[in-house]
Amino acid sequence: MKAMVKRRVHVAAAAIISDDKQKVLIARRPSSFDQGGLWEFPGGKLAPYETGLEGLKRELHEELGVEITRAQPLIRVHHEYPDKHILLDVWQVHAFSGEPFGREGQAVRWVPMEELSGYPFPAANLPILRAVMLPAEYLITAEEEDEAVFGERLTRALEEDGVRLVQLRAKSLDGEQYLARARRALALCREYGARLLLNGDPALLEQVDADGIHLTSERLMQLDRRPIPAGKWLGASTHNAEQLEKAAALGCDLVTLSPLAPTPSHPDAVLMGWHDFQQHVEHAGMPVFALGGMTRQHANRARAVGAQGIASIRDFWR
Ligand SMILES: Nc1nc2c([nH]c(=O)n2[C@@H]2O[C@H](COP(=O)(O)OP(=O)(O)OP(=O)(O)O)[C@@H](O)[C@H]2O)c(=O)[nH]1
Ligand SMILES: [Mg+2]
């Protein structure tokens, strides 16, 4: 049988963030449309010769009556629908003028981030929902012998840097010590509304009710199904296409991809470079954090090549 060539559709869509950064604007597709009744991020198909941002500006004007004044790439998602291949080019809109309303008769609603998963979206939207809910910075804790110093440094990062996603990485602690530190870290993260992922065995969640698990690439490759429930966040460390594919197959919610640049913790690693990084991210289908020598100064660069943001030990641990 001759393989059918699917239609390719390039769609620009917006996650419009409220001024207080707590809510995002979604719209319901009119029931007469393809995927009618489902919620979506406003946007639509690009016209020939339009860039993503040009198309997005036009669509938001047509659909909502607003003009974008500040936007940043958030995530690109390729998805195979039965009849078409779709590229969703999603932008985070931080500022706009005008008061959004459904110019095409569609319902429009500001929704608190934590309620987003209660709305039915098209199948392609899962990675977008994750990206919208995650911050652009991922703190990985340093090896730290002293519990008090650990607490001070984590508190400083939460308070002064506004970190909202933390991975507790502590290879030098044994089981009981790790659990004690995890409980302390969780209490601090809760105080600041930050999420905590434990780097270790997924069974750790039975002892500490953290927000999720971050898998080492080694642990990732040994698994054949998602080890934690859907309500928890699953992260993984990746370094190549094979590991990224595995992470996607397991339903990971986010990954780090490294190493971009040399670091004291991994001095001999073979570096990836931004070009390879971008190629990997394009088809990852998950939020990807750039890791390895990254600081917040690299954040815009990382976003420009499709990443969620940067992950770092050094930049946050002082
Ligand atoms: N805007 C938008 N489209 C999405 C999302 N998720 C998703 O799968 N899609 C799909 O992407 C395509 C977007 O097309 P659209 O109907 O919005 O296009 P449009 O605004 O240009 O209108 P048109 O129907 O007149 O061409 C649809 O097939 C839709 O199902 C999303 O979150 N936002
Ligand atoms: Mg549309």
Contacts 24+ apart (CB under 8 A), 273-278: 274/301, 274/305, 277/305, 277/307, 278/305, 278/306
**pTM for this one?**
0.95
CA 261 to CA 131: how far, in whole Å? 24
- pLDDT at residue 3, rounded to an integer: 63
- pLDDT at residue 118, rounded to an integer: 94
DSSP 110: E
Q: Which atom of ligand 1 is nearest to the CA of 79?
A: 8
Pocket test for ligand 1, best of 16, 33, 45 (most atoms within 8 A of CB): 45
- pLDDT at residue 1, rounded to an integer: 53
On the 0-12 / 13-18 / 19+ scale of CB atoms within 10 A, 120 is: exposed
Residue nearest to atom 14 of ligand 1 (CA): 44
What are the structure tokens assigned to 244, written together? 């990224």
Q: Is the CB of 124 under 6 A from ligand 1?
A: yes
CA 217 to CA 236: how far, in whole Å? 6
Strand ranges for the chain from DSSP E: 7-17, 23-28, 39-40, 43-45, 67-80, 84-97, 108-112, 137-140, 165-168, 195-199, 212-215, 233-238, 254-257, 288-291, 309-312
Q: Is the CB of 35 under 6 A from ligand 1?
A: yes
Angle CA 178–308–205, to nearest 5: 25
What spacing in Å lies between the alpha carbon of 34 and ligand 1's midpoint?
8
What spacing in Å lies between the alpha carbon of 318 and ligand 1's midpoint?
45
Residues 6+ apart with CB under 8 A from 14: 25, 41, 42, 43, 56, 59, 60, 68, 71, 90, 91, 92, 93
Residue nearest to atom 28 of ligand 1 (CA): 34
- pLDDT at residue 36, rounded to an integer: 80
8 A C-beta contact, residue 19 and residue 46: no
pLDDT in tens, the chain (318 residues): 556 788 999 999 999 999 999 999 999 988 777 778 899 999 999 999 999 999 999 999 999 999 999 999 999 999 999 989 999 999 999 999 999 999 998 999 999 999 999 999 998 999 999 999 999 999 999 999 999 999 999 999 999 999 999 999 999 999 999 999 999 999 999 999 999 999 999 999 999 999 999 999 999 999 999 999 999 999 999 999 999 999 999 999 999 999 998 887 778 888 999 999 999 999 999 999 999 999 999 999 999 999 999 999 999 998
In total, the chain counts a number of residues equal to 318
Beta-carbon count within 10 A of 312 CB? 25
What spacing in Å lies between the alpha carbon of 59 and ligand 2's midpoint?
7
What spacing in Å lies between the alpha carbon of 18 and ligand 1's midpoint?
22
Q: Is the CB of 81 under 6 A from ligand 1?
A: no
Among candidate residues 123, 115, 135, the one with its CA nearest the CA of residue 285: 123
* Domains of the chain with CATH codes: 7-124 (3.90.79.10), 137-312 (3.20.20.70)
Q: Which atom of ligand 1 is nearest to the CA of 62?
A: 20
What spacing in Å lies between the alpha carbon of 33 and ligand 1's midpoint?
9
Q: Is the CB of 43 under 6 A from ligand 1?
A: yes
Q: Is the CB of 40 under 6 A from ligand 1?
A: yes
Q: Which atom of ligand 1 is nearest to the CA of 123?
A: 8
Residue nearest to atom 22 of ligand 1 (CA): 44
What spacing in Å lies between the alpha carbon of 3 and ligand 2's midpoint?
29
Q: Is the CB of 41 under 6 A from ligand 1?
A: yes
